[in-house]
Amino acid sequence: MITIYGLRNCDVCRKAMKWLAAEGIEATMHDFRKDGLDELLLAQWLDICDWEILLNRRGTTWRKLGDQQKVDMDRSKAESLILVNPSLLKRPVIPLGNKIAVGFKEAEQKAVRQFAFNKA
C-alpha cells in the first residue's frame, strides 16, 4: 500500500488518489492538517530530496509569509517553516522505498507505477 502525503482539499492530491485507484494501486491519504507532519519523517525526506524541491514557493502559504521569513533560506530554515506550515510542502509527497516522488506529473506517475508493481 502506498501513502500519499498532502492535503485532502488539494486538487493534485485528489487527482493522484483517483489515478492510483484507476491503476489498481492501493493507497491511503495522510492529510497534514488532520494527521500532522512528523519531524523525523520530514528530516528523512530532506535527506533524500533537496529542500528546494520540497518547498512550495508558488502556493498561498508561501506568499503569506513575511519577507523576513523568506530571506536566507536554507535546509534548516525550510525545515522549520515546513514543520510549522506543512502546506509549504509541494504535494503530494509519495515515499517509494529509498526515494520519494514530489508532485504528480508524468515522471512521478511512472515512478509510482513502477514501485507499486515491482513490489507485488
Q: What amino acid positions are annotated as catalytic residues?
A: 10
Q: Which residue has the cell 506517475?
A: 109
User: Which uninterrupted H or E stretch holds 19?
Assistant: helix 11-23
The answer to whether the beta carbons of residues 96 and 3 sit under 8 Å apart is no
Going 53 to 84 to 62 to 59, the CA torsion angle's sign is: positive
Which grid cell is 38?
A: 512528523
The DSSP secondary-structure symbol of 55 reads B
